[in-house]
Every structure is written in C-alpha cells, then in structure tokens.
Chains A and B, each alone.
Chain A
C-alpha cells in the first residue's frame, strides 16, 4: 500500500495526483469467510481492522447495504469524550481516548483529532455538586476533569449569555480538557483503507436478507448478492439492529429513534471547545471550516426516516440562541438526521448471543462516534476469543434481565423521555 506522506504527496503532484492507488478495492463476495461483519460504518470497519491487526484474522468480509461511512459515522457531530461517571463507561471510553490519540499514526490517515476540551454547563448549586461528584469519579478512573466556576467558564466562552436574569444562569461547568473532535469521514476511510490492505473484503451495495442458523449455530448469511458462509457473524448496524434482529427471531432492549444535527454558515474562529447546555437540550462546537456544529435531543418517537421534523430543530436552536445569542445572526447551512439504536439504559451492548457464532454490537444511542475505536477493539476481541473482554463485560445483553443496568444518565426505561 502507498503510504500517505509529504514525500508521496509531492511525488504524486508531478502526475497531477492521477496515479494514487485506490484506497480500498471493490471485491466480489467470496463463498466463505471466517468472520462476516454486517455494517460498514465506523464500528464495523474498526472491528474488521482490529480483527486483522490484533487477532490475525484476515478472512473477513464487511457487508454494507449502501456505501461505507454513509450512516451515523457520516452524520454525527464528531465529538470525542470519556466524561462518564460509571466505571463501565468511563474505563471503556478512556481506553478509546488512547486509541484516538494514536489513530492518525496508527492508520496512516489524518483523522484531524483535535483535543480542544468539552465543557458541560451547570446552572445551579445542586448541578455544580453533581458535576463535582462526576468529576471526582472520572479522576478516580484516570480521566481528566476540571470543575470550572462561572468566571473560569467566562474566560473560555465569553460569547455565552452570562447575564443574571436568564432561565438558566451559568454557575460553572465540568470540563474534560482532553476531549475534542475528529474528522468523522476520515475515521471510516482510514479504518477501511487499512482493513482492506490487510485482506478484509469490503463489500458495498449488498443487503443482508436473512441468516442461516441451524441447531443454535450460525452458518452464514443470505444477501442480495448471494449466500455467504461464515463461521462467525457480527452485527454492527446501529439503527437497523431491530430489523436484522427480527430476522433472527430476537427481540432486543432497543428502539430506533431519530436524531438531528445542523451546521451554520462558516464564520471566523469564535469557539475553541465543545460546549453542552444540557438543561436546554443543546450542544455546540465549531468545525475547522468555521461552521457552528449544533445538535440537541431526539425527535422523540420511533423512526427509521433518517430525516427529522422542524419542531425539534426549532426547539434546539431556540435553546442555542438563549445560551449564545450571537447565533441568531447566522444562517443555517445544512440540517440532517440519523437513526439511533437507543438502548433502554442509555448504554451500549457488545456481547455474544444465544446463537453460537453470532455477536451483537448495538445500543450506542447518540454516543456512537466517540466509541468507534474502543467498540471495534472490544468487539474484535469478543468475536476472535468468543468471550467478552473485561472492558465490555458490563455491556452485556442480559443486564436488563438481571437488573445490572448502567444508570449513567438516569434515562431509565423510557428512552423517549430524554
């Protein structure tokens, strides 16, 4: 594989960049694979990459219904963080932060990881206490956390509304300085290019229409491009999880919901960290191109539409303007939606299933992008070793049955009360 470097960039400039190798091939599906990963998004591509790199399993196919990186890895707001209170989420995400820091070198692909920090705003003494507790829990797990008072927040985001007579006055905030953003498409493409180079077949425009299961064991999948035998099959299909689960006669603690995001026209640098305004269901960052990247809550009903309705967007932007009044002067450039696999406790599932050789990776809610490397790494381990790693042991499928829920955000059982 051609290495991406300044020297190769200069060399290829002489031939007008016409002679670069394809980043990945477009192979026909083979008859049989050791592992088939369904879903060519960030998590699926990362899983295939770590199967090859960490476990030397290269007879692997990624089966993607559309094109790779066209789902949630191309639709998120690129935020990377590990500011969780509970051990399961904190340790898992912090392991992921290490992978993020090394990713551009590891993949020989500039994913533009930018650790610019994330601030969760607090609006009362009680919320400051809760954030102090969360910050302490994070630090006990080796995650950086700083409790900021009102003046310290003002230093970082002077453009926010710091007047006294607002519904949610800013009391302070909890900051994770090492959190940040990355170029989301580059993550998908970087994993795809390396996985392809190690022998993984990336098969696009190939829809899974059924599974071949006998005597409690998976033997392969049926697709729009023919049957494919497989010793092991991993599901990484986010919002489409329930559709495939139905074909396996499984009912999961997952509902598919719609989440929107939007960007403004590009403006000069004004915001150099990620800011969340939880009380107002709003968060914001500024992309390298200068667009203000904004998002908020779910639309609030089951949906597979990948496009949202205006009331939610209006709510999100109303709250945004309440926090940062200058936003009212900006024009909207683009809005879009993606479909989220909302789990019933707000935490993901990476586990084996009751079917031998079938593995499940789902329930990422609206936090899937930052988890991409850790999810791929632990899912690859779970598939290769046929047992969960200690990092994803808490993300079991049966925790809902046994009562071992991860009560991170207190969402409880009603994902639509968010």
Chain B
C-alpha cells in the first residue's frame, strides 16, 4: 500500500491515439485530444508513481467512491 501523494494522475487510459500512416480526420484528432466520456463509476485511468519508481500504470478506479479495483501495467491490454 502506497500513499496517494506519491502518485500523479495521467487521465483517461481508454483514449487511443489515432494510428499513424493513415488518413486521420479532424474528428478523430478531436476525440483523441479533447473529448472524454468522464464516466461515473468504473474508470480506467493512467497514474504515474512519480515520487517512487516513476513507472506509469493503469488503474481501474470508481470515480464516485474512489475505490480502487485493479491495477495493470501501462502496456497491458485491458478488456
């Protein structure tokens, strides 16, 4: 168990960067850069252990209760 202040928030982890080397529409960029679902309840998000090992991780957390369910490696695919 590590204290919250060691971690820094990195936003919604479900957002995917548009694939390069393909035609990318303004709407796709818009969705990647600005538009967010901002779910109430289970939310998959990025955190960095900034005052520790400095690794990025994915965290599944409840945005209404702040309960943390599960953590994943940053490059792990989450179903």
Contacts and interface: CB of A to CB of B under 8 A. Distances in A.
B65 interface: yes
Contact of A302 (B5, B27, B38, B65): B38
A242 B38 contact: yes
A333 B69 CA distance: 34
A309 B9 CA distance: 14
A130 interface: no
B30 A256 contact: no
Name which of A301, A304, A413 has the most chain B CB atoms within 10 A of its CB: A301
Contact of B9 (A251, A301, A304): A301
A3 to B, nearest CB: 43
B40 A243 contact: yes
B66 interface: yes
A394 B4 CA distance: 38
Interface string A235-250: 0000000110010000
A300 B66 contact: no
A416 interface: yes
Interface string A387-418: 00000000000001100000000000110100
A251 B37 CA distance: 6
Given A400-B30, A401-B30, A416-B11, A305 B35 contact: no
B65 A305 contact: yes
A303 B4 contact: no
Nearest to A298: B9
A254 B37 CA distance: 8
Name which of B45, B65, B66 has the most chain A CB atoms within 10 A of its CB: B66
Contacts of B35: 251-253, 400
Q: How large is the interface on A (under 10, 10 to 19, 20 to 34, 35 or more residues)?
A: 20 to 34
B62 to A, nearest CB: 9
A311 interface: yes
A45 interface: no
A344 B34 CA distance: 6
B79 to A, nearest CB: 21
A255 B36 contact: yes
A333 to B, nearest CB: 24
Contacts of A344: 33-34
A242 B8 CA distance: 23
20 contacts: A242-B36, A242-B37, A242-B38, A246-B37, A246-B39, A251-B35, A251-B37, A252-B36, A253-B34, A254-B36, A255-B11, A255-B36, A301-B9, A301-B45, A304-B40, A305-B65, A400-B30, A400-B33, A401-B27, A416-B9
By Cβ-Cβ distance, the 8 closest A-B pairs, closest first, are A253-B34, A242-B38, A400-B34, A301-B9, A251-B35, A255-B38, A304-B40, A344-B34
Given A246-B39, A256-B63, A416-B9, 15 more contacts: A242-B36, A242-B38, A252-B36, A253-B36, A254-B38, A302-B63, A304-B40, A304-B64, A305-B66, A309-B4, A309-B66, A400-B33, A401-B27, A401-B34, A416-B10
